[in-house]
Amino acid sequence: MSFQIREAQPEDSQTIFNLIHQLAVYEKLENDVVTNAEELQEQIFEKKFAEVLIAEEDEKPVGFALYFFNFSTFLGKPGLYLEDLFVEPDCRGKGYGKKLLIELAKIAKEKNCGRMEWAVLDWNTPSIEFYKSLDAKPMDEWTVFRLNKNKIKNLANS
């Protein structure tokens, strides 16, 4: 069995969408997925709003990490924000998630990032324990806020 992590290419847009859909099913958020492969291709590969790593086992995609760079005003450095990390259920426990995070850490180091951050659902105990095993620390004193598309429009028009 061979394993590799590679940077996604435009022709991977449908694969990325399929993995996002599997993630949404796992997170019980399937109805929240409103994108499609064509939109992902435009936003990721043409407009370059995010980057994607794909994990493959015997040349078959089994997981992905979607990330982008932000900026820390306090550190004065970029940060790597991991939006989503997913490994197919039958491939978990083989080290693929850890290998994706190691690759992200290498990218963050190369870009001189001051930190790597991500969010995890409160109920996702297996992922929380996995992240803690890597010495990642939960940011319990912070609350995430969100405006959806309609709320952005309302605020922008006020």
Given a cut of 90, is residue 80 above it in pLDDT? yes
Proportion of the chain above pLDDT 70, given as a percent: 100
CATH number for position 117: 3.40.630.30
- When pLDDT is cut at 50, 70 and 90, the band that residue 155 belongs to is very high
Query: What does the pLDDT average to over 16-25?
Result: 97
52 in Cβ contact with 86 (< 8 Å): no
Q: Give the mean pLDDT of the chain.
A: 96
- When pLDDT is cut at 50, 70 and 90, the band that residue 103 belongs to is very high
User: What predicted TM-score, i.e. pTM, was given to this entire model?
Assistant: 0.94
Query: What does the pLDDT average to over 80-97?
Result: 96
Residue 157: the pLDDT is: 97
131 counts as catalytic:
yes
Q: Which domain holds residue 103?
A: 3-156
Sheet holding 51-57, edge to edge: 3-7, 51-57, 60-72, 77-87, 115-118
* DSSP secondary structure letters along 1-54: --EEEEE--GGGHHHHHHHHHHHHHHTT-GGG----HHHHIIIIIIS-S-EEEE
- What domain count does the chain have? 1
- When pLDDT is cut at 50, 70 and 90, the band that residue 1 belongs to is confident
